[in-house]
């Protein structure tokens, strides 16, 4: 039961569980799960869909892409779920979750340090009229961070593949220069400020109005900005040479994509087990996870990412990926 006014435009792709009564509020934590909670207050888990049900996201992207064949659906199905505008929402949400933990550790903020439960917007802006456990906060931080870094690193990998294919024999230094990763340990890498800005109630940018929707250069510029902000531990390592920095970035990209494929499989197989234990004959009429087209596509994508990373390293004369356990 949704009681208006409610604004979920900054919490896209969230799920409200059956039986939940949602009072008037504004929530700005994307991909969340909202369930009944103790004490009569709903409990919110930010990023739950990304962390525990990525199969739902992957399947939806396939369905949306297939709908583009119908002209009447084309204008609102021609973009990815994990796009630039959504990434900006994830960064903002993640930073607010991190800041809330920093406040609590310092003994500040309205939440109870003993109970480790954050309640309403007073504890975390954008939490609405809900409560959030410390475990849920950690889930959200991990889910958002992994999605943001995966988005940025996939952009880097795609750029590297284009460069090495177009310019045979290109040097490592030239590669780093063309992707804007040379001399980034200085002013370009700034400490992440997780202090939340004052919430602004405004219309969200519609997907088809995002610059990156039709402009590949705008998309890469956005991904590059994310890359510099999200991976300072690698890019700002003064003791590492250019070869090691690029290899670490590629390894991180492969690891995140592999983890995503595994979680897509796990979320589908979990549904298979639940269905088989509940409904007689469930297995006879449902495709198992190991044969599901969405699961197979996620695994194929992870394998392609690993292959592309190997090709990039081979093209510029590095081989650390081959020596890694990935």
Q: What is the pLDDT along the chain (326 residues), one digit of tens a residue?
A: 999 999 999 999 999 999 999 999 999 999 999 999 999 999 999 999 999 999 999 999 888 877 766 666 666 666 789 999 999 999 999 999 999 999 888 887 665 555 589 999 999 999 999 999 999 999 999 999 999 999 999 999 999 999 999 988 889 999 999 999 987 755 455 555 556 666 666 778 888 888 898 899 999 999 999 999 998 888 877 666 778 889 999 999 999 999 999 999 999 999 999 999 999 999 999 999 999 999 999 999 999 999 999 999 999 876 544 444 44
Q: How far apart are CA 143 and CA 148, in angstroms?
A: 9
Q: Is 112 helix (H, G, I), strand (E, B) or coil?
A: strand
Q: How far is CA 36 from CA 32, 45, 190, 233, in A?
A: 13, 11, 40, 39
H/E run at residue 44: strand 43-45
pLDDT at 88: 95
Q: At what angle do helices 54-67 and 293-315 cross, to 10 degrees?
A: 90
What is the model's pTM?
0.91
Spatial separation of the C-alpha atoms in residues 103 and 112, rounded to whole Å: 11
State the residue for tokens 């909670």: 37
Do the beta carbons of residue 184 and residue 228 sit within 8 Å? yes
């Amino acid at each position: 039961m949704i009681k208006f006014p409610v604004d979920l435009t900054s919490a896209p792709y969230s799920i409200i569980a059956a039986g939940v009564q949602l009072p008037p509020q504004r929530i700005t934590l994307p991909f969340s799960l909202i369930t009944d909670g103790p004490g009569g207050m709903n409990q919110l888990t930010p990023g739950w869909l990304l962390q525990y049900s990525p199969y739902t996201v992957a399947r939806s992207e396939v369905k949306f892409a297939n709908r583009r064949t119908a002209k009447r659906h084309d204008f609102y199905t021609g973009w990815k779920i994990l796009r630039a505008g959504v990434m900006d929402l994830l960064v903002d949400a993640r930073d607010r979750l991190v800041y809330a933990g920093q406040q609590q550790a310092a003994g500040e903020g309205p939440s109870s340090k003993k109970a480790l439960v954050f309640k309403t917007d007073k504890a975390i802006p954008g939490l609405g009229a809900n409560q959030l456990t410390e475990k849920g906060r950690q889930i959200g931080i991990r889910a958002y961070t992994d999605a943001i870094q995966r988005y940025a690193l996939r952009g880097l990998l795609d750029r590297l593949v284009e460069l090495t294919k177009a310019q045979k024999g290109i040097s490592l230094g030239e590669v780093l220069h063309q992707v804007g990763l040379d001399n980034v340990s200085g002013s370009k890498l700034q400490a992440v400020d997780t202090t939340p800005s004052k919430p602004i109630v405004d219309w969200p940018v519609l997907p088809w109005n995002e610059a990156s929707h039709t402009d590949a250069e705008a998309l890469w510029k956005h991904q590059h900005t994310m890359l510099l902000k999200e991976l300072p531990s690698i890019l700002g390592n003064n003791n590492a040479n250019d070869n090691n920095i690029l290899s670490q970035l590629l390894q991180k990209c492969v690891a995140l994509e592999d983890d995503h494929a595994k979680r897509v499989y796990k979320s589908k197989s979990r549904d298979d087990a639940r269905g088989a234990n509940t409904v007689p004959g469930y297995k006879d009429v449902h495709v198992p996870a190991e044969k599901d087209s969405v699961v197979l596509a996620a695994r194929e994508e992870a394998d392609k990412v690993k292959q592309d990373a190997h090709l990039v390293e081979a093209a510029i004369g590095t081989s650390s990926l081959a020596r890694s356990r990935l």
